[in-house]
Every structure is written in C-alpha cells, then in structure tokens.
C-alpha cells in the first residue's frame, strides 16, 4: 500500500500563533512500565534528530530534549482535552547520523520518501544485536530537523505519512502542537472537510473556533476538533462534520484494537520487567578527569537499554566544563555497564561546580535512582574574593530610583556568578520593582552596579522598608550582603485644609448670634428638667 504524503505549511506571520507553552513539566506516560498499569493506550515514539536540529539549539542537547519532551506533553494535553484514551511516550531520542546510509547534510525536508527508505532499511527487530539497533519497534518514528526550504507564501514545518508511521517536524524556539498535528496525519486525520484523501472517519478533520484553529487545522491549535468544547462562545467542532475527538474514541475498540488502517503500524509497548539503577563510584572528580558512571542491571531482558544523560544545574558547571551527553546504553549480559564522561581541564580558577547525571526512557527496564549529582573540582589556585554591597542602608524617595554598587574585594580570580534578589518588609512588591537576577563577574571584575526602583502611589503609607540580598557560595559572601532600603513617603503628607474666610457681613454675624441663642435655650431646658 502506498502511503500518501501530507505537508504542513504555515505562513511566517502565523508561526508564532501555534507556539503554545507546554502545560506540564513531565509526561506521566513516560513513567508507565506496563500497558496494564495505565488506563490509556500508550504509543511509543522514537525520535531522530539531525545535526542541523542540534545546531538550531546551539549544540545544547538539553534544549533539544526539552523541545521534544514538551511536544509530547502537548500532544497528550490535546488528547486529555478531548477525553481521548491515548498517550504518547518517548521510547528513545537518537542522532539521525546513527541511521545507515543517511546523508543528512543533503537530505531535503520534502524528500520524505528518502527518509522512509532509510527508516525501512533500519533493523528494529528484537532478535538483532543490541549494539547496532534500537531494541524494539515503536508506533511512530519522528525526525526532528531544522527548516530546510521555504515556499513563496509560507514555511514548511512538517511532513507525515497519512496512515503511516513516519513524520518530520521542524525544531522551533519553544514547543507547540506540531507533533500532535503530524502524528495526527499518521492516525488518518486531515486538515479540513475539503480534504478528499482517505481519513480515519469522514469527520476526522480540523476546524476553527473562537478565532483560532484546532490541532489539525492549517495553522494548528491546542485542542482537537470537538463540538463539546467551546472557545469564545463558539463550538470547536460539529458532530459528523469536524470531530476528531469522536473519530478517535469510536475507533479505539475496532480499528485501533485490531491494528487496522490507519493504525497498521501501532505496536504494543515493551514491558519494563527489569530495572536499571544509576550508581556513581565517586561523587567528586577533578577537572580533566573522567566522570565514571555505572548502570546496574537487575532481571534485565535481552536487548534492554536506557538513555544516559547529563543535565546542567543552576549556577553549576557550564557546558565548557564537561562533555554533554545523551546516549543509549545497552544491556549486554553483564551485571554492570560502565560509562565515562569527559571533563575539561582549563586554566581558569573556578569554584567547585555541580552537574547532574541521569538515566531515563528505559526499554525493557524501569529506571531507579535515576538522577545523581557530581562535583567537578578545579585544580587551579586563585583568590576569588568576596561580595558586599557598598552600603548597609539606602533611602529612596517614593517613585524614584537609585543605584547601589556590589563590590568584589580580597581577590578577583575566576568568572563567578551571584544571585541578587529583593524581599518584602513593610514595603510589599507593589511598592518597588522586584529584583531576582544572576549577575556574572568576569575574571578580574571587581564591581557592578544595580538599579533599585520604587513605585509612586497616592496612598499615605509612611516610610516603608524592604531588602536587597546577595546569594552565593558561602565562601564568597562578605559582611554586608543585605541592603535595607527605605522608601521615603514624606512627599505624601496630607494637605492641610484651610476653612474658608469668615463672611463679615451682617448676615454672617446674625447667624452666629442665632446659633448661640439656640445653645443657651437648650442649656436652660436641661437645667430645668434636672430640677
């Protein structure tokens, strides 16, 4: 059967409209070890990233992984929004250069037939040796690449086989719903009622509502078409016309369960019957030495594997300090697999720095003790100095701003970062502009200034205070790391109301006389009653 190819094109002006932020930080389906443990049908995805996709994220594997992970999360969010009992799960993320006979430097995004040829030739049988193949089949294979070509009116951002298992998505600055869109094509969904290609159902198409598209519409969106959902008072679908949610749900017990078109290639997920545990022989290493990581296998089935990765820590080691890693590690029959990760020996003085090492996305095994921290110690001597504010207190007129200097004394060796942040006192966040930022001192730098701004209001609050604080390694803190800021509210003293000048006309004098007479009469009556 020849699978049709569909192209997703979005105008450059609309590209930002589908760049939705992810709705969660983790994908629950990634933690599922058995289909029997979950109330949704799980479909596994193997991702291949091209060199230019990694280059799009400046060579940062973490950013690439974050994009992929949140594309999956967003796809599952769209499923949840329509009560569709399917969940996507990451099976593996691998460099596309691992595929045989692939020339990714010359492969055009439009040449999906070549991609299909490459992937079809890639052995994924459980009977193959673990060091040359991914040891299980997945329901979907997705290539992540950078933009390759443009059209006159738009930019190609994705391709997919209709009713197939292959698709291509373009790397973007933040996750959107492009994966949900392209895998929707794999599942037999189309853009609109005008599409005449074979579909999951006649109404397995996208639409618009509330001025925005749904997932399968040309411009993309965050929900699948569903007449039970409204956006800005408009139904996001029509029964029997545009209803992807119903199309999926009606197919679960028939086409999906029987692996019939368009779900011909859906695979049952591999059960995680064993465990893989991360272990560090040492949690400290000197720069220039290799980090040693051990994977301990227990009851691991043949061809089990996990992904080993490194992860940056806030204010920790930079990517220049170690070899960033995201690689599959395969079980070869030995109880322990040892992997080394190189660190960089440089000449710059640095404090001890942290980097995380973890394992995830197990095939045949669940992951235990899946994240550990390693300290990289510098072998270079130096005097980093200590950080202080140039004053202990500062007074600022309400609505004004002033600068304060941060001094680095006692040494200036090495590039160091500190956190500077405000905390409320009697003054709350509405009285000043909050600060929470990382300030980097380059090697040799001894001072920096930071501006503190207060907010003017009409309330008479009196003087109020808040603090500005320095946070850093304890060895870098001086004596004056807390600055007390007073907001001077004296300009808001209430105005003195001066009564109007007394009218000295005869009418005014007569009024005063009558008032005194009335008071005298009341006094006489009171005395009479008391007698």
Domain presence at residue 74: yes
Statement to judge: residues 226 and 307 lie in one domain: no
Mark whether 195 and 101 lie in a shared domain. yes
The answer to whether the beta carbons of residues 461 and 425 sit under 8 Å apart is no
| pLDDT (average), residues 353-366 | 92
Higher pLDDT: 151 or 209? It is 209
Give residue 89's pLDDT: 93
Q: What is the pLDDT of residues 240-284, one digit of tens each?
A: 999 999 999 999 999 999 999 999 989 888 889 999 999 999 999
Indicate the residue among 377, 401, 432 that finishes a domain.
377
Q: Are residues 246 and 312 in the same domain?
A: no
Shared domain for 280 and 224, answered yes or no, is: no
pLDDT given for residue 124 in this prediction: 42
Token reading at 526: 């009171």
Query: Does a structural domain hold residue 506?
Result: no
Residue 117 and residue 195 in one domain: yes
Computed over every residue of the chain, the mean pLDDT equals 82
User: pLDDT tens digit string along 144-161?
Assistant: 988 755 443 456 678 888
Residue 514 included in any domain: no
pLDDT more than 90, % of the chain: 52
Reading the block at residue 283, the tokens are: 């949690």
Query: Are the C-beta atoms of 379 and 341 separated by less than 8 Å?
Result: no
Q: 245-259, 348-362, 426-440 — which one is most confidently predicted on average?
A: 245-259
Q: pLDDT for 274-295, tens place per residue? A: 999 999 999 999 989 999 999 9
Does some domain include residue 513? Answer: no
Helix, strand or coil for residue 194? coil
Write down which residue in 317, 349, 377 finishes a domain: 377
Tell me how many domains the chain contains.
Answer: 3
Element (H, E) at 509: helix 506-530
Residue 264 lies in a domain: no
CATH of the domain at 122: 3.40.390
**How many Cβ atoms sit within 10 Å of the Cβ of residue 472?**
21
* Whether 349 and 431 share a structural domain: no
Q: How far apart are CA 124 and CA 69, in angstroms?
A: 23
Q: Which residue, 441, 442, 459, 463, is CA-closest to 450?
A: 441
CA distance 77 to 175: 13
We report the CATH number of the domain holding residue 455 as 2.60.40.2030
Which of 377, 400, 435 finishes a domain?
A: 377
Same domain, residue pair 131 and 242 = yes
Q: Same structural domain for residues 393 and 344?
A: no
83-91 mean pLDDT: 95
Helix-helix angle 178-186:61-81, to 10 degrees: 60
Q: Tell me the two tokens of residue 42.
A: 């799980």
- Whether 43 and 170 map to the same domain: the answer is yes
Q: Is 462 left (phi over 0), alpha (psi -120 to 50) or beta?
A: left
Shared domain check, 248 and 124: yes
108 CB neighbour count, 10 Å cutoff: 12
Pairing between β-strand 155-162 and β-strand 86-95 as defined by DSSP bridges: unpaired
> Looking at the domain assignment, is residue 1 inside a domain?
no
Q: Are residues 69 and 202 in the same domain?
A: yes
Which residues are CB-neighbours of 93 under 8 A, at least 6 positions away? Answer: 46, 47, 49, 64, 65, 68, 307, 326, 361
Residue 199 shares a structural domain with residue 145: yes
d(CA 49, CA 37): 30
Q: Which residues pair with 218 in a beta bridge?
A: none
Q: In 299-391, at which residue ranges do the beta strands (DSSP E only) sit? A: 305-312, 326-330, 336-342, 353-363, 365-368, 371-377, 386-389
* Under 8 Å between Cβ of 408 and 446: yes
Query: In terms of residue numbers, what domain contains 318?
Result: 274-377
The helix (run of H) or strand (run of E) holding residue 62 is helix 61-81
Residue 266: inside a domain: no
User: What's the pLDDT score for residue 148?
Assistant: 59
Tell me: pLDDT of 236 over 80: yes
Q: What pLDDT shows up at residue 147?
A: 74
Bigger pLDDT: 296 vs 123 = 296
**Long-range contacts of range 310-315, CB-CB < 8 Å, 24 or more positions apart?**
310/341, 310/355, 310/356, 310/357, 310/358, 311/62, 311/355, 311/356, 311/357, 311/358, 311/371, 312/62, 312/355, 312/356, 313/354, 313/355, 313/356, 313/373, 315/417, 315/419, 315/438
pLDDT single digits (tens) 95-136: 887 665 556 555 555 455 556 565 555 544 333 333 334 456
> What's the farthest any 2 CA atoms get from each other in the chain?
121
Per residue in 11-43, pLDDT (tens digit) is 322 333 333 344 456 788 888 888 888 889 999
With respect to residue 366, please indicate whether it lies within any of the assigned structural domains: yes
CA 399 to chain centre: 35
Rounded Cα distance between 188 and 195, Å, is 12
Residues 6+ positions from 167 with CB-CB distance below 8 Å: 140, 141, 142, 143, 158, 159, 160, 161, 182, 183, 185, 186
| Mean pLDDT confidence for 510-517 | 48
């Amino acid at each position: 059967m020849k699978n049709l190819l569909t192209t997703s094109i979005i105008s450059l002006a609309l590209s930002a409209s589908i760049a939705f932020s992810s709705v969660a930080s983790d994908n629950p389906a990634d933690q599922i070890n058995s289909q029997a443990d979950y109330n949704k049908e799980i479909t596994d995805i193997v991702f291949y990233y091209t060199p230019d996709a990694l280059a799009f994220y400046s060579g940062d594997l973490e950013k690439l992984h974050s994009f992929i992970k949140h594309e999956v999360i967003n796809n599952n969010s769209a499923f949840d929004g329509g009560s569709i009992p399917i969940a996507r799960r990451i099976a593996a993320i691998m460099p596309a250069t691992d595929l045989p006979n692939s020339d990714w430097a010359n492969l055009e995004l439009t040449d999906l037939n070549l991609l299909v040829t490459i992937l079809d030739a890639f052995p994924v049988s459980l009977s193959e040796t673990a060091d040359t193949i991914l040891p299980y089949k997945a329901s979907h294979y997705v290539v992540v690449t950078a933009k390759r070509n443009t059209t006159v009116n738009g930019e190609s951002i994705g391709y997919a086989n209709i009713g197939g298992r292959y698709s291509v998505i373009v790397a973007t600055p933040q996750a959107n719903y492009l994966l949900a869109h392209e895998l929707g094509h794999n599942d037999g969904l189309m853009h609109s009622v005008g599409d005449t290609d074979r579909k999951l159902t006649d109404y397995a198409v996208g639409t618009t509502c509330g001025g925005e598209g749904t997932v399968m519409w040309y411009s993309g969106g965050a929900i699948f078409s569903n007449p039970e959902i409204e956006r800005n008072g408009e139904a996001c679908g029509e029964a029997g016309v545009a209803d992807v949610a119903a199309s999926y749900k009606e197919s679960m017990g028939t086409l999906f369960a029987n692996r019939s078109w368009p779900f011909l290639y859906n695979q049952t997920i591999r059960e995680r019957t064993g465990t893989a545990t991360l272990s560090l022989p040492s949690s400290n290493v000197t720069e220039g030495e290799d980090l040693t990581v051990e994977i301990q296998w227990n009851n691991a089935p043949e061809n089990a594997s996990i992904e080993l990765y490194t992860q940056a820590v806030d204010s920790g080691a930079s990517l220049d300090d170690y070899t960033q890693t995201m690689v599959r590690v395969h079980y070869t029959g030995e109880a322990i697999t040892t992997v080394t990760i190189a660190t960089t020996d440089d000449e710059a003085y640095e404090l001890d720095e942290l980097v995380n090492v973890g394992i995830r996305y197990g095939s045949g095994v669940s992951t235990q003790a899946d994240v550990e921290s390693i300290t990289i110690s510098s072998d270079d001597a130096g005097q980093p100095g200590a950080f202080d504010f140039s004053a202990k207190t500062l007074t600022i007129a309400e609505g004004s701003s002033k600068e304060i200097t941060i001094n680095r004394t006692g040494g200036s060796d090495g590039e160091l970062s500190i956190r500077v942040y405000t905390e409320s006192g009697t003054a709350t966040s509405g009285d000043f502009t909050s600060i929470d930022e990382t300030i980097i001192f380059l090697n040799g730098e001894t001072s920096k200034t930071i501006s503190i701004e207060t907010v003017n209001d009409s309330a008479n609050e009196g003087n109020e205070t808040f603090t500005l604080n320095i946070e850093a390694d304890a060895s870098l803190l001086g004596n004056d790391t807390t600055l007390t800021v007073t907001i001077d509210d004296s300009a808001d003293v209430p105005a003195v109301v001066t009564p109007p000048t007394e009218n000295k006309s005869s009418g005014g004098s007569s009024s005063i006389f009558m008032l005194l007479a009335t008071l005298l009469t009341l006094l006489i009556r009171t005395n009479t009653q008391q007698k």
